[in-house]
């Protein structure tokens, strides 16, 4: 009897680990904070340098972002509904603004699953598979939701962030402003 109780306790412990103590109905989709689409802009005089953005991408190639152009850094995951919804907008804007470097940073996702998703949508820009790159944004505008999109000015400084799904209007407005600087 005692052995049966011990086995039950051990089994319940492992079930609680697997479900995240969420009552057994926890899913990956529920384990993120969805942003509201709020836009934060930093004045030129108050901007700080973004971290170096380089590393392995979903396509298996090394990529290094070089300063000198405006950049859009989108933090996403293939299991995230708002992320999946905004990717077509990001693809369209990357075509409308070829002088802007679009990049992604995959977070909390399986690279093989994300790569298949990116290939299916023909994402024309690189996505880093090392989400430790996000630590470098800690002192500026960190990605505080999934998705989050951080914009860098031509000097490589963090200029703005959209917390949540981007829209064609919100991101276009920021891109035009940064390009005019």
Q: Over the chain (181 residues), what is each successive 10-residue block's mean pLDDT?
A: 42 31 31 62 94 96 96 96 96 97 96 96 96 89 86 96 93 96 94
* pLDDT number for residue 121: 95
- Which residue is it, tokens 């340098």? 49
Q: What pTM did the predictor assign?
A: 0.79
Q: Assess if CATH 1.20.140.10 describes domain 32-180.
A: no
Domain spans of the chain? Answer: 1-30, 32-180
* pLDDT number for residue 28: 33
* pLDDT number for residue 55: 97
* pLDDT number for residue 152: 97
């Amino acid at each position: 009897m005692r052995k049966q109780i011990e086995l039950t306790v051990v089994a319940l412990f492992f079930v609680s680990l697997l479900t995240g103590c969420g009552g057994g109905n926890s899913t990956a989709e529920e384990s993120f904070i969805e942003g509201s689409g709020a836009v934060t802009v930093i004045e030129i005089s108050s901007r700080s340098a973004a971290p170096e953005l380089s590393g392995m991408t979903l396509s298996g190639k090394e990529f290094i972002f070089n300063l000198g152009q405006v950049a859009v850094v989108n933090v996403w995951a293939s299991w995230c509904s708002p992320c999946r919804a905004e990717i077509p907008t990001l693809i369209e804007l990357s075509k409308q603004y070829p002088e802007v470097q679009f990049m992604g940073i995959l977070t909390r996702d399986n690279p093989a699953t994300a790569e298949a998703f990116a290939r299916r949508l023909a994402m024309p820009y690189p996505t880093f598979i090392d989400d430790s790159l996000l630590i470098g944004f800690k002192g500026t505008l960190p990605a505080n939701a999934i998705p989050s999109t951080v914009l860098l000015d031509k000097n490589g400084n963090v200029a703005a962030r959209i917390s949540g799904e981007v829209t064609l209007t919100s991101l276009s407005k920021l891109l035009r402003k940064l390009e005019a600087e």
